[in-house]
Chains A and B, each alone.
Chain A
Amino acid sequence: MTDIYLDNNATTKVDPAVVDVMIPYFLEQYGNPSSIHKFADGVARGLKQARQQVQALIGCEHDSEIIFTSCGTESNSTAILSAIKAQPNKKEIITTMVEHPAILSLCDYLEKEGYTIHRMPVDKAGRLNLESYKRLLSDQVAIVSVMWANNETGTIFPVAEMAEMANAAGVMFHTDAVQAVGKIPMMLQDTKIDMLSLSGHKLHAPKGIGVLYLRRGTRYRPLLRGGHQERGRRAGTENSASIVGLGKACELALEYIEYENTKVKAMRDRLEQGITEQIGHCFVTGDMYNRLPNTTDIAFEYIEGESILMLLNKYGIAASSGSACTSGSLEPSHVMRAMDIPYTAAHGTIRFSFSRYNSMAEVDKVLEVMPGIVATLRKLSPYWDGNGPVADPEKAFAPTYA
């Protein structure tokens, strides 16, 4: 049986067409784009084309608003640190409790440096309260940073609306859109979003390439100073092969965006429906009605996610989990905790994330093995008794130092 990859929110396969356009930049056009000779004379053109391909996918007004970086994390750090350096008098940052660590760790660090961090909570379906958001906006806030779509649940935040509100209050708005770009259509020029991060490897480009979109006129301070690359806004020799690859990947993503929202979504829906129908005591987390088309995150109660993944792996199926064990931490995923998912379910969450490379046959294969996997582990669980959870599970099994 061939392996089934359902972990596309973690990273994606590089599209063969992307690899093809990259190879000449390793073997022929390997000159430094700043050089004046024939090894470099095609590179500048390649970079320009890539910039336009990215521009087309995110719908921004100018291609000079695209800054190539090394990854989504660099784009995020650049955005937030730029905002606080450009506005040294503003000492507050607004974000959410469910951001990626690329934002949260940086905010934790800035908190130690004296910044006030407002981490907005979410409800049980992972949604924000825009009323309380509005109350937080003030002239003390340097930047709002809110993810476009959540990496674990796929829940989409109303970033366009939130950017309008920030703009009205005179506050800069950044969105970490690494999960959203290429999966849902966007037209940045019609929004008030000032900065946006995207990452190549989430959309079938290689790892190690990212973009910071910077709206023209947004006050900006570079993170990396040095040469004149990226108009002095991100020094460092251009990663030309990867930039060109990212351009191609963006072109393909735009081409497939309807497929993503119809065919890919249909696979996701079938898997989700099949699992929740066949298996008791499991539920979908996040905002069911406002989600990325490719993501489903399902909590299997009374069992632990890493065990599920190990058994899935035995069948050649790749997914990921929000359990503590998979990351070696002491708490299950902060996203699950923020949604107030009970521990007995949070540790058993499995995220299946699709791409255009998946098929319905693969969905059927997962549906075939999943009930058995869950049953095997529940048989071992102290919270499970025969065909259902033990009565009053939290009391029936209350281990010491719980």
Chain B
Amino acid sequence: MWDYSDKVKEHFFNPKNAGAVVDANATGEVGSISCGDALRLTLKVDDESEIILEAGFQTFGCGSAIASSSVLTEIIKGMTLDDALKVTNQDIADQLEGLPPEKMHCSVMGREALQAAIANYRGEEWKDDHEEGALICKCFAIDAVMIEEMVWANKLRTVEDVTNFTKAGGGCAACHEDIEAILEKVLAEKGEKFDPTAAPVAAPEKVAAVKAPMTNLQRIKKIEEVLESLRPALMADGGDVELVEVIGNTAYVNMTGACNGCQMAAMTIAGIQQRLMEVMGEFIKVVPASEMAKLVNIEVA
């Protein structure tokens, strides 16, 4: 069974705002019946203020789909449409105190239903911009479609490339066989052959590895450089990282934006540490800056 948070269970067992809003003036219907998740969101919007007065959901889906729908209606009630459009799937997942990686798509479905309903109210046509594929990397919740698109767009050739561009495969590495299968497939479509020993394409602003021992200043500069190179990937997910302090071989960082409080933060930190060690050729420990206080206190004591 999935390890659902208490919040997910609470919203599943006692869903809020279930059913259609009676005199709704906005409706969004999204989902995929083949995947077994579908959601109809109905809203009553005040025409003057554009405030969402009422929200109701009807969901065909699993526990987390129902919980995501329920929490979404709670989040958006009382919001203006413009504010509601700023609600991200991460907001929904956060309100639920996290979702298992395989279930993050339930929160995406919630956000999409909201966008579709608002488009419907405004007389616009809502176009879904994402296609969902089988989940490949469970550490970073990256699916096959995403990997395929990146392989096409960036002419990726190796598993390392895929990890550099999407993070997929950068955690436990159990999905490397699946990533190789995707590379084989896409490269075959392009008339090329997958070669596991091929030189990696240029990683996004890849930083050259260091050989000789470093001074502390060099180390800090190098760490900054590596973090800089990882920043685009983090920012693509709405997050960021900031270096706070370096003591010996420990780098203290602040995860900000969407990374802050994200269930994946620990995995992301592990990924950053891995990358730092690769580039710097020495052991580096990456620790959230929140841990620093404890350490300093111990040293003082």
A-side residues, CB < 8 A to B, are: 302-307, 309-311, 313-314, 323-326, 328-332, 343-344, 347, 379-383, 397-402
Contacts and interface: CB of A to CB of B under 8 A. Distances in A.
Nearest to B9: A310
Given A304-B60, A307-B12, A399 B18 contact: no
B293 interface: no
A326 to B, nearest CB: 8
Given A314-B13, A382-B59, A383-B60, A331 B39 contact: no
A347 B36 contact: yes
B66 A402 contact: no
Contact of B29 (A313, A379, A398): A398
Contacts, number: 107
Nearest to B109: A399
B32 A402 contact: yes
Nearest to B135: A328
Q: Which 5 pairs of residues, A with B, have the shortest CB-CB distance?
A: A325-B62, A328-B102, A306-B62, A382-B58, A347-B36
Contacts of A311: 13
Interface string B201-212: 000000000000
A382 B12 contact: no
A303 B59 CA distance: 9
Contacts of B38: 382, 397, 399, 402
B171 interface: no
B62 A304 contact: yes
B199 interface: no
Contact of B116 (A302, A331, A379, A400): A400
Nearest to B133: A330
B115 to A, nearest CB: 10
Contacts of B239: none
A55 B60 CA distance: 48
B97 interface: no
Nearest to B4: A310
Of the listed residues B35, B103, B126, the one surrounded by the most CB atoms of chain A closer than 10 A to its CB is B35
Nearest to B20: A382
A398 to B, nearest CB: 7
Given A307-B63, A323-B62, A325-B37, A399 B30 contact: yes
A400 B30 contact: yes
B78 interface: no
Nearest to B42: A382
24 contacts: A304-B36, A304-B65, A306-B62, A306-B63, A307-B62, A310-B63, A311-B13, A325-B64, A325-B103, A328-B100, A328-B135, A330-B134, A343-B33, A380-B18, A380-B19, A380-B59, A381-B59, A382-B40, A382-B59, A399-B30, A399-B39, A400-B31, A400-B116, A401-B30
Contacts of B126: 400
Of the listed residues B37, B103, B133, B134, the one surrounded by the most CB atoms of chain A closer than 10 A to its CB is B37
A30 to B, nearest CB: 34
A380 B66 contact: yes
A398 B31 CA distance: 9
B148 to A, nearest CB: 14
Contacts of B103: 325, 328
